[in-house]
Structure 1
Amino acid sequence: MSSTSTASLSSLPAGLDMADLPMQHPRAPAGAAQARARFFNSGNAFNVKLPVVPAQLFPPPQEGRFGVFDCDQSDALGCGFAATTPLMLARYVRIAARDALLPLDVNATGSVWYVIAGSGRLSGGADSFTFGTGDVFLLPGASGYRLEAGPEELLLWTVGNEPQLDFERAQPASRASATIDAVHYPADEIERQFALIFSTATHDETSGRALIFSSDRQSAARNLTPTLTLSFNTLEPHTHQRTHRHNSAAITLVVQGEDCHSMVGHAMCPWAPWSTLVTPPGAPHSHHNAGTRGARFLIVQDGGLHYHARTMGFEFLELSE
């Protein structure tokens, strides 16, 4: 039988398994709308095989290279648009001293930015502000942003949900109807928040000491955007974060860590300064610090979607010591 069919009962081979029925067309469509109908069955509709999300390490762009650099796995994922995971895209952006990236279009519901090095100014949106090394900021989807570097070259890391919108051929909401605003988290305020966290105690079920970013409009969900979560994780010297899993994919930026690595499944992923690590959804993973300094790493997940769908599925796979 062909891969598509308008089968009748009399044409079916005796004993044909339901799962072997090809995709069915309507027999006698009365118009174009009916002709577009296709039918599967419970034996073959749920066995779609998609490529796995690779556990990958992306280095930052080499010195002297300027522009936008995608951490793109679209070929491995089998999608026709740039993507680091099925629903997220990570990028590095390097701008020469006193130069500008114009226009900068954020074709996502929202994107998170971390300033790896340098300082600069953002303009072109509803809010304009200056930023410096170690700052985090959130931008709603919009066109015409301007990023201008200060007296030194500027290196940024950003993650947005462009692939989620590309998957449905959707567009970001207008500024007037967007569900998020521009939010700026200066480095000194981040350090103040870390000091508060480290002044408190933890218990066995606490998944490390991490700072979770949110905003006034997203605070009820404790997310950064309706679909993305952002945490700034820490790991003390000679310790590790217990093996765990969750249904969200994770994109991690190594901010600080010497002699550190992650285990993703059975693969060891050594950390390198400012590298990007992709953790596939559902993959068992752990983070290890064999060095003498505390480690820090930023993690963006499509966790907002999973929290909303009640499918986050976080669990430790290793007993506490």
Structure 2
Amino acid sequence: MLIFKLVDAHLKNRISILLNNQNFDQTLTITHVLWAMLGIVPAGANQAPHSHKSVALDFVAYSSPGTYTLVGDKVDPITKQIIDPIRIDWVTGKAFVTPPGLWHSHHNESGEPAYIIPIQDAGLQTYLRTLDIQFTHYEQK
């Protein structure tokens, strides 16, 4: 079964598979400090803004034009959208950095699913209890 075809998949902030190493079964991380996942942004999807204190190296495994990430300092309290965001267009085989503490959201206006592999120091941040992940939610359009 494809996870992004589940009835409530559009209500999730992320649709992904967390990659982990059996040696780190308590932290569910890939190394003792690094967290990684394989994420999908289905065609037409908008993943709500979120922020965390871990830095992310985002590798674009596959995307078509029209898939991008918005990054910014603040979120509008009413619309839950990022205020004055910087747009980072996804390009297959390329990577970009999402700085720690900034709000970011993922969008796919192309006609096919896009895949991303974020690698973060979230294992270290979780151990230190400083990850501070926050989510907003807004209605899908």
The TM-score by the shorter chain falls in which range?
0.7 to 0.9
Amino acid at match of 1:285: H
Alpha-carbon shift at residue 269 of structure 1 (Å) = 0.9
Identify unmatched segments of 5+ residues in structure 1: 1-194
1:245 is matched with which residue: 28, 32, 51? 51
- TM-score w.r.t. length of structure 1: 0.37
1:296 aligns with 2:124: no
Alpha-carbon shift at residue 317 of structure 1 (Å) = 3.0
Identify unmatched segments of 5+ residues in structure 2: 73-84
Which residue of 1 is the match for residue 136 of structure 2? 317
Q: Residue 4 of structure 2 contacts residue 42 of structure 2 at CA under 8 Å; is this kept in 1?
A: no
2:28 is matched with which residue: 200, 210, 222? 222
Write the mapping of 1:16-55 to structure 2, written as runs, cut at 5 A: none
Amino acid at match of 1:262: T
- TM-score w.r.t. length of structure 2: 0.81
Alpha-carbon shift at residue 198 of structure 1 (Å) = 4.4
**Change in CA separation of 1:311 and 1:204 when aligned onto 2, cut-off 3 Å:** farther
- Identity over aligned residues, as a percent? 25
- Pick 1 or 2: higher relative contact order, CA cutoff 8 A, min separation 6: 2
What are the superposed Cα offsets for residues 75-124 of structure 1, whole Å, 9 maximum, x if unpaired? xxxxxxxxxxxxxxxxxxxxxxxxxxxxxxxxxxxxxxxxxxxxxxxxxx
Q: Which runs of 4+ in 1 moved over 2 A?
A: 195-207, 317-321
Which residue of 2 is the match for residue 104 of structure 1? none
Q: Residue 58 of structure 2 contacts residue 118 of structure 2 at CA under 8 Å; is this kept in 1?
A: yes
2:89 is matched with which residue: 270, 276, 288? 270
Output the aligned Cα RMSD: 2.0
What are the superposed Cα offsets for residues 153-175 of structure 1, whole Å, 9 maximum, x if unpaired? xxxxxxxxxxxxxxxxxxxxxxx
1:206 aligns with 2:15: no
Which residue of 1 is the match for residue 75 of structure 2? none
Which residue of 2 is the match for residue 33 of structure 1? none
* Matched positions, count: 127
Q: Residue 46 of structure 2 contacts residue 107 of structure 2 at CA under 8 Å; is this kept in 1?
A: yes
Q: Residue 240 of structure 1 contacts residue 286 of structure 1 at CA under 8 Å; is this kept in 2?
A: yes
**Change in CA separation of 1:314 and 1:273 when aligned onto 2, cut-off 3 Å:** same
